[in-house]
Structure 1
Amino acid sequence: MAKSSADDDELRRACEAAIEGTKQQIVMSIRVAKSRGVWGKSGKLGRQMAKPRVLALSVKSKGQRKKAFLRVMKYSSGGVLEPAKMYKLKHLSKVEVITNDPSGCTFTLGFDNLRSQSVAPPQWTMRNTDDRNRILVCLLNICKDVLVRLPKVVGIDIVEMALWAKDNTPAVTAPKSTEDGEPVPEAVTERDMKVTVEKELVSQAEEEDMEALLGTYVMGIGEAEAFSERLKRELQALEAANVHAILESEPLVDEVLHGLEAATNIVDDMDEWLGIFNIKLRHMREDIESIEIRNNKLEMQSVNNKALIEELDKVIERLRVPSEYAASLTGGSFDEADMLQNIEACEWLAKALRGLEVPNLDPIYANMRAVKEKRAELEKLKATFVRRASDFLRNYFASLVDFMVSDKSYFSQRGQLKRPDHADLRYKCRTYARLLQHLKGLDKNCLGPLRKAYCSSLNLLLRREAREFANELRASTKVSRNPTVWLEGSTGSSQNANTDTSAVSDAYAKMLTIFIPLLVDESSFFAHFMCFEVPALAPPGAAGNDSKNRSSNDDGNDDDDLGIMDIDDTDKKTGKNSPDLTALNESLQDLLDGIQEDFYAVVDWAYKIDPLRCISMHGITERYLSGQKADAAGFVRLLLGDLESRVSMQFSRFVDEACHQIERNERNVRQMGVLPYIPRFAALATRMEQYIQGQSRDLVDQAYTKFVSIMFVTLEKIAQQDPKYADILLLENYAAFQNSLYDLANVVPTLAKFYHQASEAYEQACTRHISMIIYYQFERLFQFAKKIEDLMYTITPEEIPFQLGLSKMELRKMIKSSLSGVDKSIAAMYKKLQKNLASEELLPSLWDKCKKEFLDKYESFVQLVAKVYPSENVPGVTEMRALLANM
């Protein structure tokens, strides 16, 4: 048999060298193969993963305590053993021999401090079972001796281990002690162990007991049948003894049976009695059930009768018509003292009608004859009351207005303008405002005729007030009438143009100040009073910028205080697209229609006195129109829009007539000097700007555009009638236009545009006229220069002196004839410029332009001569400039 590696001293010394310095002693060292392979179905170990290792068991003494370790050694690349891993044996919890290994040489060691790791424990494979048993026995001995406990052993019989240990009798010597009593660590080897394994694994007493037990039943193979017979005899003896015991207890059994039979009879009797009681109880339960059902029905009937009586009382109360309300609805008075009772009757009637409708009344009652009859009775009451109230209100509105119309003190009279005051009228109407609201709730269709009656009556009053006020307003306004011929060339009109006509526009403003707020208030009051579900028409007293001018007897904010919903609440609930908005505008048309004629009469009257006052009236109208909300009283906005159109139409009529007056100048015989409509337009524009006052800018700008366009076109036509003097007429008139409108052009953008247009036309006319004068005096000189310029496009300057009519001789003749006595020619040019000019103040600037233009042309001539005739001498530009400067 081969020698075990556990007896290899060289291996032990190599292990001791590897752990030198750790104060540990090697107890045993043995070579193993380490693997993590799993045994397959074939039962063969995965040898390809095996690695050579050395397992060494070591101990370390520390006082009276000892520690045991399991060290794993591996071979380095140089073949030297070195520590790889160390386990403390106090954590050894399990020793398991792998059963899948047929040889039984593979085992694993489980440590409790490694349970949390997911890596499987390594498998250790020995060369043979002797080596396996040897290391396992040594391991168990150390655990029992040093740690005083044994790990769990799995996969191997402990008896087999004990028998193997007994055959091999390994022993362990205890550590020696010194004289002082301290233990001295010695090399504890397997050979020196004197403690037997069987003593360690099985105690002496246990061994003696097992031997005695085994000695009792130890038999040879041939004694098996005798042993079986013996057991059978013992079994029969036991059964016979049991039967004998049972027979001996027979009297007791009989006594028990008699007792059971008596108990059975008693139970049968009890069962019979219980059956009788059960039948009686069942009959009693049925009787009780019947009594309870009758009681429940009686109780339910009582409750239902009580509820029915209460419900009938409610229905009767709902169907009852109080006598005082019936009297008010059918024949009561509508005097102011009785209105509170009428309102209460209306409220009760409306509530009673709503109470008989299905949502408020149980549908079960809706088809009852009493309910139907009561509903018909209430409908009849409603129709009667609505008819009576409508008739009364129609007559009441007419009587109020007739009373006011018949009293002349309500209207403007000669010498006295009276502001319309409807405070008393509204106060009297307000008494019936809540009545109208209830009438709308009872019968919405009844409001149509009432609204028409109110509009028809109040329209008479408003038209009478407006007519009387307008008539007295015109009669009391004293102002002289301006002529309508503003731009015609007649004399004397400019004197009347300065007449102050501000009273005209003031009268128009007063008409708007008095009546526009009144009409807006009337529209708002009408909408509230007649229960239109539309946004409020205007806050009280906010109908225009001039509302602060109201008289002290104005009723102010109380005019429209009907206790009806405020404007913001109404806006949220109805909105601008309410169907009542169309009906309101139609009613307002009936209410206010015809009153616009008196406003038109004031506009026409103002136009006849001073057409330019249309500008002021247009601005006043714009101011009032911008003060109205987009959803304000529809007719008032339409009225203001119509007035604005009327004023614009009258002003356009004035502009057209003035333009016609301008065009009439074209048909005059011969015009010289500044046309009369040029300065008159400046005066007209100045006055128009005074009337604008920050408003009507577009209206005036359009008039300016039309005026100036006609003026310029007419000027050009007049100038073309006499082409000889056309430029003189144009430059004089364009200059006059600029001079007269210089100040206004600086502040009016539209006039500034025409100012620049006139300036350009003036410069063009000046250039044409000056060129004509220069060519008239120096025609040969500049015609000669023109020929040279034309030829220079086709031939070189050196060839020009050889052309026909352009020789040096011709040049000298031309210079002699043109420049000899040049001072006289320049003087003649000045006289010609002065001769036909009507505006003497233009002469200095025109003469300066003429001298500059002549010098520019002469300088060009000198340059041409120097280029074409370099050897010829002509008077220089400097000499000519000095000559002109002295003229």
Structure 2
Amino acid sequence: MTAIKHALQRDIFTPNDERLLSIVNVCKAGKKKKNCFLCATVTTERPVQVRVVKVKKSDKGDFYKRQMAWELRDLAEVDAKDASKENPEFDLHFEKVYRWVASSTAEKNSFISCIWKLNQRYLRKKVEFVNVSSQLLEESVPSGESQSVAGGDEDALDDYQELNAREEQDIEGMMEVCEYAISNAEAFAEKLSKELQVLDGANIHSIMASEKQVNILMQLLDEALSEVDTIEGKMSSYEEMLQSVKEQMDQISQSNRLIQISNANNGKLLDEIQFLVNYMDLSKGHIRALQEGDLSSSKGIEACINASEALLQCMNVALRPGHEKLMSVKQQQHLFTELRDTFSRRLTNHLNNVFVHQPLLIPCAVYVQGHDQSSVLSQHMAELTLPKHSPLHRDLLHYAKLMEWLKNTQREKYEGLSRTYVDYMTRLYEREIKDFFEVAKIKMAGTAKEGKGNKFGKNLSLHGSSGKLTGSTSSLNKLAVQSSSSRRSQSSSLLDMGNMSASDLDVADRTKFDKIFEQVLSELEPLCLAEQDFISKFFKLQQHPTLGEVEESDEVVPSRQPPPGEKDMVRLMMNKVFQSIETELNSLITLGDKIDTFHSLYMLVKMSHHVWTAENVDPASYLSTTLGNVLVTVKRNFDKCISGQIRQMEEVKISKKSKVGILPFVAGFEEFAELAETIFRNAERRGDLDKAYVKLIRAVFMNVEKVANESQKTPRDVVMMENFHHIFSTLSHLKISCLETERREAKHKYTDHLQSYVINSLGQPLEKLNHFFEGVEARVAQGVREDEVSYQLAFNKQELRKVIKEYPGKEVKKGLDNLYKKVDKHLCEEESLLQVVWHSMQDEFIRQYKHFEGLIGRCYPGSGITMEFTIGDMLEYFSSIAQSH
């Protein structure tokens, strides 16, 4: 096997730069035995490629050839069939399974062992070995030839080093000299051993010949050792000298270290002194400003602001550990505390005096007993405005930074000042707002009797000492209701609105009320916003950023969000200062609703707009919250107004002796819708009106049908036709999108009842002829052919002629004239449906006429029988009757 291995290495693998590591003689399992060799090889070039190569003899049998090769990395599994018994069979699992039978179990084991070692050394992906003894995977099997092959392979795998070019040439030359180097390896090895012994002897003789040179070399080494000893002695003396120098240098270094520590300590002490001087020293100017600075002049306020900020900075300085134990620091802190207390007392007293003695706190209108009260009242009624407090705000804002200082240092005094300001401003605003709303109520009540000589002064008591209108709200409301009752009932209704065109005050009064209400809201809005803005700035209470501030800034900084406590404080202060606004607004709204319930439409639109505007400016503002609360009341009044109109519709009664015509609430709905569309144009609360429309129109529909069912004088179809025609016209004109379904329904009802009225009123103007042809149609329905009907005794041509002669043209025209008079009595003039109904009756009559002619043509063909009048005559009858009336 060794000779075969060398031959394969020389002829097949060496030309391919490969080394043969293991070989096994095999044949395929289960087939005719054709021997071949499986070889495990590695390449000599890097990176190393490991392969399993199949080699077989050529057909002539004189040389070997390479038949197939597999990469070892493609090998998935090696199956030895049996790990405990000797079995020459084994399987190699590549892309397909190859089943082999080795010539001996030892060769198989040696080959599998080599594969395992190659796998462990060169492959990352490990091959799975199945049914293989664990001993076999640790060392090669020591048996016969296989031992040398396996052992050689193991050495080659572990200690193999490639020959260089010179070594390869020497080996090749030596093998060429000895021709039997391959055929007789033992003789070749013996020759090499003898030559090696000759070379060893020559080496020994060469060493012995160089003894003289060795002695000379040893002598030189002895001399070198003596010189080394001399140098070591000198080095020792030098080391002793350097040791003394080292001790001196250590002393100098220790001295320098102490000097450095002293300098460092002095530097730190200087830093501490400079820190205390820089951060805890208050200038004499600041001290003088805090103790006796002028708080009534701009320069004095500015000096006090600078001094208070410097004092706060000194008091808030972060002292280093140990500073609080220094006597000078304690004295400075005591001085700062006294200055803080002194200045906070001065500032609090001064601001208290400013709040109390502000000129704006004097009542803005004084009514003196005995003066011309009517002229003073007229002046107030002419100008419905609220005083502006911007001068007070402007003056107080000079102290804003001082208030912030007081907030950070003396919280109790800061809160006391806040309460003082709120108390004084509450009394001021309460008086101004009450006077303002009294004037607004007088103006509203005046809309009912304006221009008719009513004097409101008789019902109001005016006291000059307080400058207040002391007439109670209840008396004012009573006065307004009494004045409005002179022209209409206490509350507006759709029933009343049907006759509003005759009134000289509805549109003008409501427009004037709308202007008054808008003026009230327009005056309150800037007043509340200005006061809230002042409170937040003066008392340094953060608010949510307004819409304009958000647009101007690039980003919203989280720190700008106010702390919850400050938000609550702004809200509480505003609620206290303007505690009377919500009450007065509700009272004003109640008065307006009593004067005219339709005022709730104006108030809903105006209030919604102002709520929307306030929320856009600041959703959390007092104004937004208060107006939102009042809006709930307005919406409730609006809903009550709509419910009242529906209730009045349900209670309507129609006279039994007069014709109905257009119902009052139908005409009233038209007026209401026109008014509402004008008021709610581009309004934010359009959805509320749409919901009210749906409720009202459904109530109108239901009550029209109710009245039509109860009507005795006017036919039901006429009531339904006229009123639903009016509703359809109204909805078509106004184009209210949410009522499009009701518009189509009204048209459908109008058309149906028009047709029903026409059919019922027209009836059978040719009654006998109609009965005759009903009998003809009955015979045809029973199965009699149409052209055979004339042979029936009761329906022959002679009978037909008799019936036709009973309806000459004059009789027909007379009957139509009576019918016209009857329809005219049923229909009302304001809806102008007479001609529409008359034209529909004409169409219906012509339809019946054509039906009769058709039956004559089909059932009496060729008889020459015709009606006594033609369609042209009929058209002339209808036209002449309509013109004559």
Partner of 1:516: 525
Alpha-carbon distance change, 633 to 867 in structure 1, aligned in 2, over 3 angstroms: same
Contact conserved, 2:654 with 2:711, CA < 8 A, in 1? Answer: no
The one of 469, 481, 499 equivalent to 2:436 is 469
Q: What does residue range 591-610 of structure 1 map to in structure 2 within 5 Å?
A: 591-610=577-596
Give per-residue Cα distances to partners, 1:807-859, cap 9 Å, x unaligned. Answer: 64389758745772254255324423422324364333222211211222343
Partners in 1 of 2:622 and 2:868 — Cα distance? 79
Amino acid at match of 1:300: I
Partner of 1:798: 785
Amino acid at match of 2:721: L
The one of 266, 271, 282 equivalent to 1:305 is 266
Partners in 2 of 1:844 and 1:266 — Cα distance? 152
1:354 lines up with 2:362 in the alignment: no
Unaligned runs of 5+ in 2: 16-168, 174-204, 369-375, 450-483, 879-885
1:843 lines up with 2:830 in the alignment: no
The residue matched to 1:886 in structure 2 has which SS? helix
Partner of 1:90: none
Partner of 2:722: 732
Partners in 1 of 2:507 and 2:407 — Cα distance? 59
Contact conserved, 1:487 with 1:680, CA < 8 A, in 2? Answer: yes
Give per-residue Cα distances to partners, 1:436-492, cap 9 Å, x unaligned. Answer: 222344466875555444334323322322222232344467533563455447989
Partner of 2:502: 494
Partner of 2:150: none
Partners in 1 of 2:848 and 2:696 — Cα distance? 39
Partners in 2 of 1:277 and 1:666 — Cα distance? 142
Partners in 2 of 1:419 and 1:348 — Cα distance? 42
Alpha-carbon distance change, 296 to 699 in structure 1, aligned in 2, over 3 angstroms: closer
Partners in 2 of 1:486 and 1:676 — Cα distance? 13
Partner of 1:588: 574
Partners in 2 of 1:538 and 1:781 — Cα distance? 84
Root-mean-square deviation (Å): 5.3
1:433 lines up with 2:400 in the alignment: yes
The one of 340, 365, 381 equivalent to 1:408 is 365
The residue matched to 2:316 in structure 1 has which SS? helix
Amino acid at match of 1:733: N
Partners in 1 of 2:792 and 2:837 — Cα distance? 34
Unaligned runs of 5+ in 1: 1-38, 51-152, 158-231, 247-252, 541-564
1:771 lines up with 2:759 in the alignment: yes
The residue matched to 2:532 in structure 1 has which SS? helix
The residue matched to 2:540 in structure 1 has which SS? coil
Percent identity between matched residues is 15
Partner of 1:96: none
Partners in 2 of 1:639 and 1:576 — Cα distance? 22
Amino acid at match of 1:526: I
Alpha-carbon distance change, 331 to 474 in structure 1, aligned in 2, over 3 angstroms: same
The one of 333, 338, 352 equivalent to 1:395 is 352
Q: What does residue range 29-44 of structure 1 map to in structure 2 within 5 Å?
A: none
Query: How far off is 1:768 after superposition?
Result: 1.0
Contact conserved, 1:622 with 1:644, CA < 8 A, in 2? Answer: yes
The residue matched to 2:248 in structure 1 has which SS? helix
Alpha-carbon distance change, 789 to 347 in structure 1, aligned in 2, over 3 angstroms: farther
Partners in 2 of 1:328 and 1:568 — Cα distance? 37
The one of 854, 859, 873 equivalent to 2:850 is 859
Partners in 2 of 1:734 and 1:465 — Cα distance? 53
1:624 lines up with 2:610 in the alignment: yes
Which TM-score applies when normalising by structure 1? 0.57
Give per-residue Cα distances to partners, 1:185-242, cap 9 Å, x unaligned. Answer: xxxxxxxxxxxxxxxxxxxxxxxxxxxxxxxxxxxxxxxxxxxxxxx9xx99xx99x9
The residue matched to 2:785 in structure 1 has which SS? helix
Partners in 1 of 2:367 and 2:389 — Cα distance? 10
Contact conserved, 2:728 with 2:746, CA < 8 A, in 1? Answer: yes
Partner of 1:292: 253
Q: What does residue range 172-571 of structure 1 map to in structure 2 within 5 Å?
A: 278-315=239-276, 318-319=279-280, 334-336=295-297, 338-356=300-318, 361-362=319-320, 364-365=321-322, 368=325, 377=334, 380=337, 384=341, 388=345, 391-392=348-349, 395-396=352-353, 398-400=355-357, 404-406=361-363, 408=365, 414-416=378-380, 417=383, 418-442=385-409, 450-475=417-442, 478-479=446-447, 480=449, 481=484, 483=488, 484-488=491-495, 494-497=502-505, 500-501=508-509, 502-537=511-546, 568=553, 571=556
Q: What does residue range 812-831 of structure 1 map to in structure 2 within 5 Å?
A: 816-817=802-803, 820-821=806-807, 823=809, 824-825=811-812, 827-831=814-818
Contact conserved, 2:762 with 2:819, CA < 8 A, in 1? Answer: no
Alpha-carbon distance change, 346 to 156 in structure 1, aligned in 2, over 3 angstroms: closer
Partner of 1:636: 623
Contact conserved, 1:537 with 1:633, CA < 8 A, in 2? Answer: no
Query: How far off is 1:156 after superposition?
Result: 13
Contact conserved, 1:588 with 1:635, CA < 8 A, in 2? Answer: yes
Partners in 2 of 1:570 and 1:266 — Cα distance? 84
Partner of 1:177: none
Contact conserved, 1:452 with 1:590, CA < 8 A, in 2? Answer: no
Query: How far off is 1:588 after superposition?
Result: 2.9
Alpha-carbon distance change, 856 to 566 in structure 1, aligned in 2, over 3 angstroms: closer
Partners in 2 of 1:365 and 1:883 — Cα distance? 125
Partners in 1 of 2:277 and 2:592 — Cα distance? 74
Partner of 1:710: 699
Query: How far off is 1:589 after superposition?
Result: 2.7
Partners in 2 of 1:304 and 1:711 — Cα distance? 101
Partners in 2 of 1:877 and 1:309 — Cα distance? 139
Rg larger in structure: 1
Query: How far off is 1:672 after superposition?
Result: 0.8
Alpha-carbon distance change, 439 to 567 in structure 1, aligned in 2, over 3 angstroms: farther
Query: How far off is 1:745 after superposition?
Result: 0.9
Amino acid at match of 2:502: S
Partners in 1 of 2:680 and 2:8 — Cα distance? 122
Contact conserved, 1:329 with 1:342, CA < 8 A, in 2? Answer: yes
Contact conserved, 1:808 with 1:869, CA < 8 A, in 2? Answer: no
Partner of 1:572: 557
1:760 lines up with 2:745 in the alignment: no
Partner of 1:165: none
Query: How far off is 1:415 after superposition?
Result: 0.8
Which TM-score applies when normalising by structure 2? 0.57
The residue matched to 1:384 in structure 2 has which SS? helix
Alpha-carbon distance change, 838 to 569 in structure 1, aligned in 2, over 3 angstroms: closer
Query: How far off is 1:736 after superposition?
Result: 4.8
Partners in 1 of 2:259 and 2:804 — Cα distance? 150
Give per-residue Cα distances to partners, 1:40-83, cap 9 Å, x unaligned. Answer: 95699979x99xxxxxxxxxxxxxxxxxxxxxxxxxxxxxxxxx
Alpha-carbon distance change, 40 to 537 in structure 1, aligned in 2, over 3 angstroms: closer
Alpha-carbon distance change, 318 to 775 in structure 1, aligned in 2, over 3 angstroms: closer
Alpha-carbon distance change, 825 to 44 in structure 1, aligned in 2, over 3 angstroms: closer
With 672-681 and 475-484 compared, the bigger mean Cα shift is at 475-484
Q: What does residue range 85-164 of structure 1 map to in structure 2 within 5 Å?
A: none
The size of the alignment, in residue pairs, is: 619
Query: How far off is 1:399 after superposition?
Result: 0.9
Alpha-carbon distance change, 328 to 833 in structure 1, aligned in 2, over 3 angstroms: same
Query: How far off is 1:654 after superposition?
Result: 4.1
Partners in 2 of 1:877 and 1:289 — Cα distance? 158
Give per-residue Cα distances to partners, 1:501-548, cap 9 Å, x unaligned. Answer: 2332222222233321222222222222222233344769xxxxxxxx
Query: How far off is 1:645 after superposition?
Result: 4.2
Partners in 1 of 2:595 and 2:257 — Cα distance? 103
Contact conserved, 1:536 with 1:567, CA < 8 A, in 2? Answer: no
